[in-house]
Chain A
Amino acid sequence: DIQMTQSPSSVSASVGDPVTITCRASQGIGDWLGWYQQKPGKAPRLLIYPASTLQSGVPSRFSGSRSGTYFTLTISSLQPDDFATYYCQQGADFPFTFGPGTRVDLK
Chain B
Amino acid sequence: QVQLRESGPGLVKTSQTLSLTCNVSGASIRGGYYWTWIRQLPGKGLEWIGYISYTGSTYYNPSLTSRVTISVDTSKSQFSLALTSTTAADTAMYYCAHGPPGKKDAFHQWGQGALVTVSS
Point out residues on A near B: beta carbons under 8 Å: 1, 32, 34, 42-46, 49-50, 55, 87, 89, 91-92, 94-101
Contact = CB atoms under 8 A, between A and B. Distances in A.
Nearest to B51: A96
Contacts of B108: 46, 49, 55
B46 to A, nearest CB: 4
A1 B24 CA distance: 30
Main secondary structure of the interface of A (DSSP, over half): loop
Contact of A100 (B45, B110, B111, B112): B45
Contacts, number: 50
Interface in B37-81: 44-48, 59, 61-63
Nearest to B95: A43
Given A46-B108, A91-B105, 9 more contacts: A1-B62, A42-B112, A44-B95, A50-B106, A91-B104, A94-B61, A94-B62, A95-B62, A96-B105
Contacts of A92: 105
Nearest to B60: A95
Size bracket of the B interface: 20 to 34
Main secondary structure of the interface of B (DSSP, over half): loop
Given A32-B105, A87-B45, A44 B61 contact: no
Contact of B111 (A1, A43, A45, A46): A43
Interface in B74-120: 95, 97, 104-108, 110-113
A98 B95 contact: no
Given A32-B105, A95-B62, A89 B110 contact: no
A96 to B, nearest CB: 4
B106 A91 contact: yes
Given A97-B48, A98-B46, A99-B45, A46 B107 contact: yes
